[in-house]
Structure 1
C-alpha cells in the first residue's frame, strides 16, 4: 500500500513539530487539570516582588534600623527558616508515606491517627534542628551575629514558630490527602503565601492598614515584632508573646481537627490505598 501524501497545511505524523506539539499539548492538559501547577507559575515572582518591596519601604523610612540591619535581617532569616523547615519537615514526612505507598499499611496497623500526628510532629522538630543549627553556627562564623544573644526569648520565639509550622503542615497534608499528589507543590508554596504579612523583614506598620488587620491574625506577626523589639530597642514584649501563643493554640487545634477528619474520611472511602506515585 502506498503511503498517503499529506494534504496542504496538514502536519505529517512523523514530523518533528508534530511530536513537539503533542508533548506541549500533553503538559498543557496536565496544567489544566492541576491548579497548583498553574498557581506556581506566577507565585514566586509575585511573592518576591511583594516581600522585597516592603523591605525597601521599611529601610527607607527608618534610618535607625539601617545601622542594625545586618543583625535584624540575619536573625529574621534564621527564625523564618525555623517556620519554613518545621512546616516542610512535617509535610515531607507525610508525603514520604504516600510515595512509599505506606498509608494503607498504617491505616490497618495499631497506630492511631493522633499518634501519626505526634510522630510527624517529632520528625518535623528533628528535621528543623538538623537544618537550622548549622545555619546559626555559620552566622556566627561569617557575620559575627548570634541569635543566641536573644537569650530565653529565643526559646519562646522558636516555640511559637514551630507550633504554627505544625498547624500549617497538618493543613497542607490534609489537602494532599484529599486532592492527591497534584497538590504536592503546595508543601513548598503554602508558607510563602503568608510571608508578606508575617512581618519577617519589616514591621507590620509598613503594610497598608487593611493588610495590617489581617497580619495580626497570624502568630508569626507578633513573634517577629517581638524579635525586632529586642534587637532594635532592647525591650522584651510579653504581650506579643502571649498573643502569638494564643493564636498558635487556635491554629493547632484547627489543623489537627482538619487532618483527623480528612484522614477518617479518606480511610472510609478507601482513598488511602489509592495514594502513591
Structure 2
C-alpha cells in the first residue's frame, strides 16, 4: 500500500495527516531489521535477567511463585513505561537526525497532529518490544502476565500515558535547547524510577518521600499491581489516583510541548536542528 493510496480517502483531514506521518515511520521500521530487533532486545534481556534472579533465590526462600510473578510483572510494566516514553522520543529524534522538520511543517501538518502520530508510533514500538518479552516469560518461567486480566489493561493505559507525558516534556526541552538535550530521551525517565515503587512498596521510602512518590502515576500502578498479585484484589483507589495524576501530567506535557514548539518556530530553529 502506498502512502498516497493510504491517505487518499482522508486527504486534507487531520486523521489523514496523522496516518501519513505514522506510515513514514512504519516504512522506516519495516526496512530495517536491526531496528526491529532492538525493539524487543532490551525488554527481553531485562526479563531474562530478573527471571534468573528469582530462580536463584527460590531454593532458599518459600515465595518462588509469588516473587517471580511480582518481580517479572514489575520488570515488564516498568519496561512498558520506559518504551512508551522512548518510543515517542526516538520517533521525534529520527525527524531531527534526518533534518526532516522543515519538510513536515511546510505541509498542513499541525503540531498536535504530529504529537498524536508520535504517540501512535510509541504504542506500536512498545507493543513490538514488550509483547515478545511477555510471551518468552511464559515459556521460560511459566509466568503469564496476561493472567492479570482487565486490571492489566488499566495498568497498561496508565503507564503508556505517563510515558507520553514524560516524552512530551523531553520533546519540548530538545526543541527549546537543541540536540544537546537529546540525552534526556534516555535518562529522564530514570529520574522518577526510585520513587515509582517498581520493585518495593512506597512504605519503604522515607516519610517525606512517600508523598512525592504518591504524586507520580507509576507508584499507584505498581502498588496496585502488587496488591493484585498478593491476593488483595484490584484497588480502584490506586487506579483512580493514577488516572487523575496522568491527566495532570499529560496536560503539563502538552503545555510544555506547545511552548517548546512555538519558541523553536519563533526563533527559526525548526529548520536548523539536526546532527
Same fold (TM over 0.5): yes
In structure 2, the partner of 1:115 is 113
**Pairing 1:199-218 to 2, within 5 Å after superposition:** 199-218=197-216
1:235 and 2:230 equivalent?
no
Q: Tell me, which stretches of 5 or more residues in structure 2 are unaligned?
A: 1-56
* 1-structure distance, mates of 2:62, 2:148: 19
* 1-structure distance, mates of 2:63, 2:201: 11
Q: Cα offset for 1:176?
A: 1.0
**Pairing 1:32-71 to 2, within 5 Å after superposition:** 68-71=66-69
In structure 1, the partner of 2:130 is 132
Higher relative CO (Cα under 8 Å, sequence separation at least 6) belongs to: 1
* 1-structure distance, mates of 2:88, 2:99: 17
Normalised TM-score (structure 1): 0.76
**Pairing 1:22-41 to 2, within 5 Å after superposition:** none
Q: Is the 8 A contact 1:107 1:267 kept in 2?
A: no
* 1-structure distance, mates of 2:76, 2:206: 26
Q: Tell me, which stretches of 5 or more residues in structure 1 are unaligned?
A: 1-58
1:175 and 2:183 equivalent?
no
The ranges of structure 1 where at least 4 consecutive aligned residues each deviate by more than 3 angstroms after the TM superposition are: 63-67
* 1-structure distance, mates of 2:147, 2:65: 18
Normalised TM-score (structure 2): 0.76
1:247 and 2:245 equivalent?
yes
In structure 2, the partner of 1:79 is 77
In structure 2, the partner of 1:226 is 224
Which has the larger Rg?
A: 1
Instruction: Give CA-to-partner distance per residue, 1:47-90, whole Å, 9 cap, x none.
Output: xxxxxxxxxxxx9xxx8867621110000000001000000000
Q: Cα offset for 1:234?
A: 3.8
In structure 1, the partner of 2:190 is 192
Matched residue count: 216
In structure 2, the partner of 1:99 is 97
